[in-house]
Structure formats: structure tokens, C-alpha cells
Structure 1
Amino acid sequence: MADAGSPLHPLRPVLEQITPTCCPGRVNFHCHTTFSDGSLSPDQLAQRALELGLEHLAITDHHSIAAHAPVTSLFRAIADRGGPVPRFWRGVEISCLLEGCLVHVLALGFGEDHPSLEPYLQGHAAVGPALRAEAVLRAGQHAGALMLLAHPARYRIPFKWLISAADQLGFDGAEAWYDYEQNDNWTPTPIVCETIAAELRERGLLMSCGTDTHGLTLHGR
């Protein structure tokens, strides 16, 4: 696995091509199953992804990667029969403290061997020094993940401040395109998302997008 900060990371060129229209029909890098607080089982979510014809998918349950194995097995079986499947990336959503604010971070594209992430895969947030953003960032980087700030406009601290702090620490980017209004059919929130994208672009940071699905469809949250 390439180092997360390296231009050789296989997920980097995918994120470099993200646009406001990629989600939900082509890519989804933020969604949840029953292994955290979602309503879809891993197999059900995988079937929704197949029905949409997704090209790239990451399941980002909170502090759990238990959904990865069954989804990988299902996609592999379909691919072995010659069927089209999304490129499936390992992902997890991790809580951490950034500038004294509890935020969520998406670790995407890490390798099969990820011992540094184990403290964050226990079904709940870490405590003490391990909760600090610096610690979460190091753990993700050691596992070969790209580290992105999730939905930066959902926190009590202004997103420009948080993006600046994440950039200074060495995060790879943030979730640029997000439906803060939580429509039934996912739509990136105007002005807010465009401003976030401009901030990331100016800093040379990666952009991601996802539905943050917790319900029964991958069309929205």
C-alpha cells in the first residue's frame, strides 16, 4: 500500500476527479450499515450499490469495518461470474477532537493490514490522547489511508477554521459535496459546498462526496 501522502495512493486520482454530480449515481464514499447506525445490512447496501451501477464505493461505518468482509465476498462472487461491480475501498468514520471540537474523519483506502487503526475499530470513539486529531491522523496514515474531514459544515466551529486546522496537521482533504439539508434525493447544498470546495481547491486538498446514508436507500441520507 502506498503511503497516504504519496501521489501513488490508488484512491488519490479518483478523488481528484470528484465533481458535484458524481454522487449518488457514480461514487459514494460515505455510507453506513447495521454494523454502526445504518438501516441496511451490508448485503442490502451492496445490492443498492449494484442497482445504481456505482463505480466506486466505500462503506464508512462508525468505528467498525465489520461490513467490509461480506461486501467484498459478494462483489467478488459477482465479478467471478463476469458481472460489473464497484471498486470497493476500505473505509471507516472516526470521531476525534480537532481544535477542541468533536469532528468526524473519513479514513479511506487503507490496506488489509491496519493494526494502527485497531483502537478506532472497537465500535466506539477512543478516549484520552487517542481521541486527538493528531493521533487519529497518524493511525490512518500508518494504515495507508487517505484522511478526510467529514461534512465540515456540520460542526460548531466554522468550516474554514476546521479545514485550515486539518490542513496544517497534514490531512489529505475533506468531504466537499454533502447534502446538509438531507433531501430524499441527495443534492449538494448550494453555496456552502461550493465555498468548501473553493477552500479545498485553494489549499490543494482532495475532495470527497457521499450520501452519508443511514436509511434504506443510497439516494440520500
Structure 2
Amino acid sequence: MPAEHHPLRAVLETVGPQSCPGELNFHCHTICSDGSLEPKDLIQQASSNGLRHLAVTDHHSSAAYLPMQAWLRAEQEQGQPVPTLWTGMEISCILRGCLVHMLALGFEAGHPALAAYNRGDAVVGEALRADSVVKAIHDAGGLAVLAHPARYRLGFRELIDAATELGIDGGEAWYDYDMQPHWQWTPMVCEQIDAQLKNLGLLRTCGTDSHGVDLKGR
């Protein structure tokens, strides 16, 4: 499926500074990588919090997706309202000589194009290059999003421009760089990132990057 027709695009086009953490969350973790929540506990919390859409983006693992989907189906069969769960994964890669993280969102679960990145650890060699990661995400039918652009050794402006040249679909615009107990997007830097992405015609996402037991915090 061409990225411009991806069903997740319509959701991401609505993302703004107030979307997270109450409505949308496209960056969080479970025990399948370095998070604290079991997949079932995370999806239960997401549902009770009233989230409309989310993706769990464990590092180099999509293992949480199927058990969460099973829980959601059981809830739906009982007539309960549930959020929409999208596939997700956070993949390490090298961009302009800098180690960055790329979010894979809305890809086909179990697609072989992402098999090398779905084994719990970062890859080595040519597969570690950002262009290889972006291609793999697209081949699997997903969207490639540069995670937290202002957390790296190189500046976010340079990294976003470099990632754009590789065909990324968007960037994580709304993020808590101060890592507060209760998530709050960081003024100025997030606004600048949002403006740059918008000017480039790219999607903007948001996420709490939760690793603890509360989806509303870091």
C-alpha cells in the first residue's frame, strides 16, 4: 500500500499538542523491551484512560501486539468500547553518522521485511543504515517516523532534513523532553519541530514514551 493511502494517515493528520496523553499515544513500551507493564496491563490502562488510538513501540520487538489484540477482541465481543491498536516498533539506526530511533507504525504484523529488526536487538552492518530501515518499514506497509528528534547528538533540524531525503513519513512533534511525572509537551522545541515537519509536508505524531506503570508519564 502506498504511504499516501495508509489508513493511519487520517488519524495522524489530526495530531496536535493536546492529543497526548488523553486521546492518542504512538510511543510507549512494555516488558517486551524495556518497559514495566505487561502487554495486557498496558492495553487495559489505555482502554480505561479512554485512548482512541495507540501503538506500542517496543525496541526491536512487536511481541506485545498479538496479546493486546486478543484482549481487545474479547472486550469488543462483550460490547465494550476499545481503542484502535496499531502495530508499532522502535528501531535503532544510523542517520548522518548519528544513532537515532525510527518508529515503525501501522505495518503488516509479521511481515518478513521487518524480521531482522524484530529480534530484540539492534542490527549491524548495512541494515543499520537509516535508509535501509525506512525501506524495510515501507516494504512492510508501515509509516516511518523519526522519534523524539531533539534527543540526539545532532540537532533536530539537520536530522529531520536528512530523514526527509530518505523518504520518512513524519516525525514525533509532541514529546516531553523534560520527562515529567505527568506528560507535558515541551514548549518552543516541540513547536519548532512541528513547524519544520509541517513545512516539509510531513506527518506529526505524539507519544508519552512511557517505560513505567503509568501511560500518562515517562
Question: Is TM > 0.5 for Structure 1 vs Structure 2?
Answer: yes
Q: TM-score range by the shorter chain?
A: over 0.9
Q: How many pairs were matched up?
A: 218
- The alignment's C-alpha RMSD in Å is 0.7
Q: Say if 2:206 is the partner of 1:184.
A: no
Q: Which runs of 5+ in 1 are unaligned?
A: none
Per the TM alignment, residue 111 of structure 1 is displaced from its structure 2 partner at its CA by 1.3
- State yes or no: 1:119 paired with 2:95: no
2:92 matched to 1:86?
A: no
Match of 1:204 in 2: 201
Structure 2, unaligned runs of 5 or more = none
| Equivalent residue number for residue 74 of structure 2 | 77
The Cα shift of 1:112 comes to 2.9
Q: TM-score, normalised by structure 2?
A: 0.99
Q: Distance in 1 between matches of 2:182 and 2:201?
A: 30
1:48 partner amino acid: Q
Distance 1:100 1:116 in 2: 24
SS in 2 for 1:83: coil
**Residue identity matched to 1:174:** G
In structure 1, the residue matched to 2:151 is 154
The answer to whether structure 1 residue 99 and structure 2 residue 90 are counterparts is no
- Read off the aligned partner of 1:73 and give its amino acid letter: A
CA distance in structure 2 between the partners assigned to 1:112 and 1:67 by the alignment: 11
Tell me the alpha carbon deviations over residues 23-44 of structure 1, each in whole angstroms, 9 at most, x when there is no partner. Answer: 0000100000000000000011
Amino acid in the other structure paired with 2:129: R
Cα deviations across residues 103-124 of structure 1 (Å, max 9, x unaligned)? Answer: 0000000113510000000100
1:140-173, Cα deviation, whole Å (9 max, x unpaired): 0000010000000000100000000001110001
Stretches of 4+ moved more than 3 A in 1? Answer: none
Identity %: 56
Equivalent residue in structure 1 for 2:133, among 124, 131, 136: 136
> 1:217 aligned to 2:217?
no
Please give the alpha-carbon distance, in whole angstroms, between the structure 2 residues aligned to 1:169 and 1:110.
Answer: 18
What is the rounded CA distance, in whole Å, between the counterparts of 2:144 and 2:47 in structure 1? Answer: 26
TM-score normalised according to structure 1 size: 0.97
Which residue, out of 30, 49, 53, partners 1:52?
49
Which residue identity is paired with 1:31? C
Residue number in structure 2 paired with 1:18: 15
Q: What residue in structure 2 maps to residue 42 of structure 1? A: 39
In the alignment, which residue of structure 2 is the partner of 1:165?
A: 162
